[in-house]
Amino acid sequence: MTAHDQRVVDPGLESAKSAPARRQVIDLDATQLARRLILFMPTGETLAALVAQAHEHAAGIATLDTVARVVSHNPDALWAIARRHRFCATRPTAEGFIALLMLNDGGLRQLLAGTLDAVDPDMSLLAAQNEKPAAIYIWFVHARGPIAGGIALMLQKISTPLLRDVDMYARAMTADGRRFLQALTFSPVRQPPAANTPDLYIFRRSPTPAPDTPLYDTYRKKAGTGAPAITVARTLEDLMRVVAIRGAVYMSEQRCPYEEEFDGNDQCAVHLLGYVGDEPAGCVRIRCFASFAKIERLAVRKEHRGTGLAVLLARASMDFCRAKGYGLLYGHAAKHMIDFWKRFGFEVVDEGREFSFSDFVYVAMTLDAAPAPQTVTHASDPHVILRPEGCWHRPGILERSATRLTSSPSIAETPA
């Protein structure tokens, strides 16, 4: 239903088409705006009048019945905007409004996959007012000229402790809509080509990893960005995710027998687990030898291909090996994957001698990798060495243990 076009664009933004003034709308002083504009939750006739206004300007949008259902499910879903000097509390009328869909996990998944029915949304995909949504989708904005300042006030309304770190999404239906979202610092969501969401934009409010976070530690649960991210598999459940992915990709797609896929090396290897949103989508395995590390079993689930996760996993595995101090990286590339690995600098070695296993023909490839500046060595701080694999860049549980109360009487009793 979102239809951002010139109607919602602040006149200042419209005139700045070639070089949109970033943040122009959200940077408007909310205190000043609040002197001129008022935001309120409309009901009854006021709501009906607003929806009728929206229907005059845009086709194919939700009916009053649907809007009323969404609003009664979660009253935070619709904010009416009025000019303060025209506003009468006993007979409230509005000149514009902003409608939001407070999506739960299922709703966000459908939004990212392009299957969300935004004209008549399924209520089971929406969070109630007291529930934390997984995403806030800007459903519709009808706010012309000076009324567009109401957007800044709405951002304040959705900055309560429950909502302030929930990412916002919107679709740009026109070139003006795109400019408008870019001016608000929304950025395009990178989606698989299969997803029908080419115009989806995100305004990230969830805690995102610091810019210098290594690629192998970028996944944060419920970050809600939908962008591919990676973590080191650390728990039994993470390992189950890896097994599920490899079961789907290698056993099911490539018909690899179980005994060959799960070859006895999984317990002694490091696994990187790739996510698309909160869905485990890909993995890669690393095995460390004295003088080299081997990168293997790269897999991305069919439904998540084309998201850039394969490249991210490959890069993350190389960075991980470099952080462990490996200068020589090694792999067996199926012949059809040689070009994929070449893009990272891998070269075919052993004069391209071919060998086969599990129904594929392979060649050996290596990469001379420069050591990472943050390589962990025996001279590193002991606390850094104690940190969990792949978390060498942030304090771990053991260094924090120095600040907790002693929990073991035997230690407390040890003489100095």
* Chain residues in the site for ligand COA (CB under 6 A): 249, 298-300, 305-306, 308-311, 333-334, 336-337, 339-340
> Is the Cα dihedral 129, 132, 138, 144 positive or negative?
positive
Phi, psi at residue 211, to the nearest 5°? -60, -25
CB of 351 to ligand COA, least distance (A): 20
Q: Report how far Cα 149 is from the mean position of its chain's Cα atoms.
A: 28
CB of 249 to ligand COA, least distance (A): 5
Identify which of residues 8 and 310 has a Cβ nearer to ligand COA in the complex.
Answer: 310
How close are the terminal C-alpha atoms of the chain, in Å? 70
Identify which of residues 2 and 307 has a Cβ nearer to ligand COA in the complex.
Answer: 307
Identify which of residues 33 and 295 has a Cβ nearer to ligand COA in the complex.
Answer: 295
CB of 317 to ligand COA, least distance (A): 11
CB of 300 to ligand COA, least distance (A): 4
CB of 167 to ligand COA, least distance (A): 23
List Cβ neighbours of 375 (8 Å cut-off, separation of 6 or more). 322, 323, 324, 325
Rounded to the nearest 10 degrees, how much is the dihedral formed by the CA atoms of 300, 298, 202, 190?
-70
CB of 214 to ligand COA, least distance (A): 19
> Three-state SS for 264?
coil
Identify which of residues 142 and 294 has a Cβ nearer to ligand COA in the complex.
Answer: 294
Identify which of residues 308 and 396 has a Cβ nearer to ligand COA in the complex.
Answer: 308
The answer to whether the beta carbons of residues 224 and 132 sit under 8 Å apart is: no
Q: Report how far Cα 393 is from the mean position of its chain's Cα atoms.
A: 21
Identify which of residues 2 and 197 has a Cβ nearer to ligand COA in the complex.
Answer: 197
> Is the Cα dihedral 309, 311, 313, 315 positive or negative?
negative
Q: How many CB atoms lie within 10 A of CB 397?
A: 11
Rounded to the nearest 10 degrees, how much is the dihedral formed by the CA atoms of 338, 343, 346, 348?
30
